[in-house]
Structure 1
Amino acid sequence: MRLGGRLAAAIEILEDIDRRYRPAAEALRDWGLSHRFAGSKDRAAIGNLVYDALRRKRSAAWMFQEESPRALAFGALMIEAGHDPEALNGALAEDNFAPALISGEEADRIAAHPLGEAPDGVRAECPEWCEPLLRRAWGDDWVAEAAALAERPPLDMRVNTLKATREKVAKALARTGVYESELALQGLRIGPIEGQGRHPNVQAEPAFQKGWFEVQDEGSQIVATLTEAAAGMQVLDYCAGAGGKSLAMSAAMGNTGQIQAFDAEKQRLAPIFERLKRAGCRNVQAVADQEVLAAHEGRLDLVVVDAPCTGAGTWRRRPDAKWRLGEKQLEQRQAEQAEILRRAARFVRSGGRLAYITCSVFAEENDDQVRAFLEANPDFRPVDHEALCERHFSGKAAKARIDRTTGIALSPGRTATDGFHFAALERV
């Protein structure tokens, strides 16, 4: 397929997403199944066009002064590739499968709405209702920080120290262009996709099959380190999901002690069993029954709450979720977070630690939740978050935004990671 055919396919998929209000990954998968003539390179390029259109939705709509799937796809392609209307029309002119070219009227609208003169919310590439939330979270830096959430993401991996070293894995993956992460101690990274290419399928590599590494965002690796899970500890991963942080803590603990990986939704835990086996983690027990945990109340050294959240910190990877998010969902997540914190706290022993984590950038899910919990639970106090960050990331702690009371915030703009919030609270 040439560019025109790929662009037409992207528009078709965007129309499907808009009409059926469905996740982009699902729409792309279904399109691929019904268009088997499209090769892997075509599908990758079409996927890039779709995700770029979702990342650049407000900018593209500003340029064209409309939000149609066609305007979003054309606008995103112009922004990412640096095309002007004339150059893009020239590239599509002789492609019979291309959508209608940019008209003179559209070109005039684009010329009259340069991105350099766009309102703050447009340059931030965020839903309008989120603007005050982002302004509160980042102050004067909110536009730049939010815009960083609209960039293409890298591919991050965590070396499993139970089986390999960072040098060993880097050597095995050398042909992929992998390099060491800047902050994560066992992190490796492949930079963001350029043009219409794609990331290598690292999960097909022998090193992955041998359990030498896991795919995990650098921010997730950092917050797992900040839990300070150590050899011999008794740990509860209260919202374990697929187990990424449980695996990271297991390696940090050297397969000693014990981790209870709990999730109330059994289907979310399903992937953990294969991952534990591949990684060689022997100190993790998957638990889906709340009653099984009763024996651990007041006895655990560390309880990790990776709370359900809006996922606003992952917008680089899931830009479609940004536009499906609403205020009611935020309110629902806040209620869930407060209740989960209340339930999880009872497992922490005296002198133990409760770690609260979200992949959100909203203060309503982060700082506000920590303050409310501390007010309701005077037997807990925050650790020195500055000292905690410096202890593990000496000389690089300043990259994160740190509040002594409410915790440590990571973001694409500051730390080149997904957006994460981490707080550690000790039971006194």
Structure 2
Amino acid sequence: MTPNARFEAAIALLEAIAAAPRKPADAVANDFFRSRRYIGGGDRRAVAEQAWSVLRQHRRLTWWIERAQGQPSGRMLVAAAAILGGQIYGDVCAMFSGGRYGPQPLEADEAEILRRLKDHTIEHPAMPPAVRLEVPDWIYPLLEARFGAETDREIAAMLAPAPLDLRVNMLKGNRQQAIDALAAEGITAKSGRFSPWGLRVEGRRPVVTGEAFQSGLIEIQDEGSQIVALMAEPQPGMRVLDYCAGAGGKTLAMAMMMENKGHILAADTSAPRLDGAVRRLRRAGVHNVEQHLLTDGDGKWAKRRRETYDRVLVDAPCTGTGTWRRNPDARARLTEQDLSELVAKQAVILQEASRFLRKGGRLVYATCSILPAENEEQVQRFLAANADFTQVAPTRPEAAKLARDGMVHLTPASHGTDGFFAAVLERA
């Protein structure tokens, strides 16, 4: 594709994302490129990176365009990102050359808006803090209450793209073998900072097509997510319940820790997510996992399994504020009502999941959120209502050194991981 064609494709992708405000941007992008198979892999990455660059700066770009008395259309957003990012004003305007593959020529008012952006950068001292940090106005006070003087540093770290983290599958080999296998594919990987099985690859590399991934030696998983699975401390022979298993990332890690011995029940309310885990389990060589689709008619099923599990992991549905580096579009979609509904839902899920834990067993409650209402406050409310549970500090040294007040809070700025929270609850 020519630069003009990539420019036009990025505009079209952003307009498709804007037209589906409740659908995740990556899902829209998958549909977008699936219907345009003529776009090759290199061009696809370039177009996606251009669009995601706009999403990461959306509030600031909108602020600039509106300051120049314009409307933040896909055309203006892509052009403004280029100009404010340092590209020459005339070269950006020249992209709008018309023709079959390039953007249509600029209207007079569009050209004037871009002219007003000339000689500026994306930052401006008059920007409100929430705009500068790319967060909704309503959530900024919550973040400020959470991080205090560190708010700018913590939230600014979420504006950059996330690194690629991998987990070595110890059922198939060790970390050095995985590093060597990736090196043979031309991919440089280094050991992670915290997880005993973690690897980090800088930049966007196509690991899923290589032998290391296809053979099940590695799995894509953020290092923070690996720490959450580690905190469950499942041992070979145990009965383990992954109550919000999703596509099975933490299920896979726990099966590895259990050396395929014992039994894991991966439960979720989404059949597509559970179905998506089947291929991953097979590739990883895991065979001690059973799946269960949670439904409203689970009364008898739940009664038979009450207080029968040694470990229960609740990776609760949440706002996903800790994953904003990967999902920058999610910032704009999140509302105060979403947070209220999720907090109520988390409380129900945690209470329901606790029924399955045997006496003396341990439950790990986790989210990929950085908001106290979903994290430590949720744990405190649960403990107040359940006198037979106490919070205990994680005992694995990798997690223990990360704990604060006995709970683990991970953030991109402080740990280089996604934002995660996890607490261990023990039943008397």
> Does the pair score TM above 0.5?
yes
Residues 33 and 210 (structure 1), Cα distance of their counterparts in 2 relative to 1, 3 Å cut: closer
- The two structures have a TM-score, normalised by structure 2, of 0.88
Question: Which deviates further from its counterpart, 48-57 or 262-271?
Answer: 262-271
* Correspondent of 1:362 among 356, 368, 371: 371
CA offsets, 1:369-407, max 9 Å, x none?
11100111121111125xx46x1257xx3xx5x4425x2
- Indicate the residue corresponding to 1:196 in structure 2: none
* Structure 2 Cα separation of the partners of residues 88 and 352 of structure 1: 64
* Structure 1 Cα separation of the partners of residues 417 and 104 of structure 2: 36
CA offsets, 1:256-298, max 9 Å, x none?
2221111133222112222222211122221225443433312
After superposition, residues 153-232 of structure 1 pair within 5 angstroms as 153-174=162-183, 175-192=186-203, 199-232=204-237
Question: Which deviates further from its counterpart, 32-41 or 215-224?
Answer: 32-41
* 2:419 is the alignment partner of 1:419: yes
CA contact (8 A) 2:98 2:105 kept: no
Q: CA deviation at 1:366?
A: 0.8
* Structure 2 Cα separation of the partners of residues 48 and 249 of structure 1: 34
* Structure 2 Cα separation of the partners of residues 90 and 335 of structure 1: 50
* Structure 1 Cα separation of the partners of residues 393 and 31 of structure 2: 49
After superposition, residues 176-325 of structure 1 pair within 5 angstroms as 176-192=187-203, 199-288=204-293, 290=298, 291-325=300-334
* Structure 1 Cα separation of the partners of residues 190 and 262 of structure 2: 32
* Structure 2 Cα separation of the partners of residues 95 and 173 of structure 1: 43
Residues 25 and 264 (structure 1), Cα distance of their counterparts in 2 relative to 1, 3 Å cut: closer
CA root-mean-square deviation: 2.4
Q: In the alignment, residue 221 of structure 1 is paired with which amino acid?
A: Q
SS at the partner of 1:236?
Answer: strand
- Indicate the residue corresponding to 2:360 in structure 1: 351
Question: Which deviates further from its counterpart, 341-350 or 34-43?
Answer: 34-43
- Indicate the residue corresponding to 1:392 in structure 2: 398
- The two structures have a TM-score, normalised by structure 1, of 0.88
CA offsets, 1:56-110, max 9 Å, x none?
111222333353323332343456xx41553753884889625657845534346
- Indicate the residue corresponding to 1:374 in structure 2: 383
SS at the partner of 1:417?
Answer: coil
Q: In the alignment, residue 144 of structure 1 is paired with which amino acid?
A: R
CA offsets, 1:222-243, max 9 Å, x none?
1111222222222111111111
Residues 187 and 88 (structure 1), Cα distance of their counterparts in 2 relative to 1, 3 Å cut: farther
CA offsets, 1:111-147, max 9 Å, x none?
5776151321122111222212222222222222122
* Structure 2 Cα separation of the partners of residues 26 and 347 of structure 1: 34
Identity of aligned residues (%): 39
Residues 241 and 107 (structure 1), Cα distance of their counterparts in 2 relative to 1, 3 Å cut: same
- Indicate the residue corresponding to 1:10 in structure 2: 10
SS at the partner of 1:125?
Answer: coil
SS at the partner of 1:262?
Answer: strand
Q: In the alignment, residue 44 of structure 2 is paired with which amino acid?
A: R
Residues 252 and 347 (structure 1), Cα distance of their counterparts in 2 relative to 1, 3 Å cut: same
Question: Which deviates further from its counterpart, 417-426 or 129-138?
Answer: 129-138
Unaligned 5+ segments in structure 1 are 193-198
CA contact (8 A) 1:2 1:95 kept: no
* Structure 1 Cα separation of the partners of residues 90 and 225 of structure 2: 41
Residues 44 and 114 (structure 1), Cα distance of their counterparts in 2 relative to 1, 3 Å cut: closer
- Indicate the residue corresponding to 2:45 in structure 1: 44
CA contact (8 A) 1:313 1:360 kept: yes
CA contact (8 A) 2:83 2:118 kept: no
Q: In the alignment, residue 39 of structure 1 is paired with which amino acid?
A: G
Q: In the alignment, residue 279 of structure 1 is paired with which amino acid?
A: A
Question: Which deviates further from its counterpart, 135-144 or 51-60?
Answer: 135-144
- Indicate the residue corresponding to 1:89 in structure 2: 92
After superposition, residues 96-175 of structure 1 pair within 5 angstroms as 97-98=102-103, 103=111, 105-109=113-117, 111=119, 115-117=123-125, 118-174=127-183, 175=186
Q: How many residues align?
A: 411
Q: In the alignment, residue 135 of structure 2 is paired with which amino acid?
A: C
- Indicate the residue corresponding to 1:32 in structure 2: 33
CA offsets, 1:11-56, max 9 Å, x none?
1221222233243223323433444432221111111111111111
Question: Which deviates further from its counterpart, 290-299 or 359-368?
Answer: 290-299
- Indicate the residue corresponding to 1:195 in structure 2: none
* Structure 2 Cα separation of the partners of residues 225 and 214 of structure 1: 15
Unaligned 5+ segments in structure 2 are none
CA contact (8 A) 1:276 1:282 kept: yes
Question: Which deviates further from its counterpart, 244-253 or 126-135?
Answer: 126-135
* Structure 1 Cα separation of the partners of residues 331 and 122 of structure 2: 24
CA offsets, 1:145-185, max 9 Å, x none?
12222211111111100111111111111112222212221
Residues 210 and 95 (structure 1), Cα distance of their counterparts in 2 relative to 1, 3 Å cut: same
Question: Which deviates further from its counterpart, 166-175 or 272-281?
Answer: 272-281
* Structure 2 Cα separation of the partners of residues 43 and 93 of structure 1: 20
Residues 361 and 231 (structure 1), Cα distance of their counterparts in 2 relative to 1, 3 Å cut: same
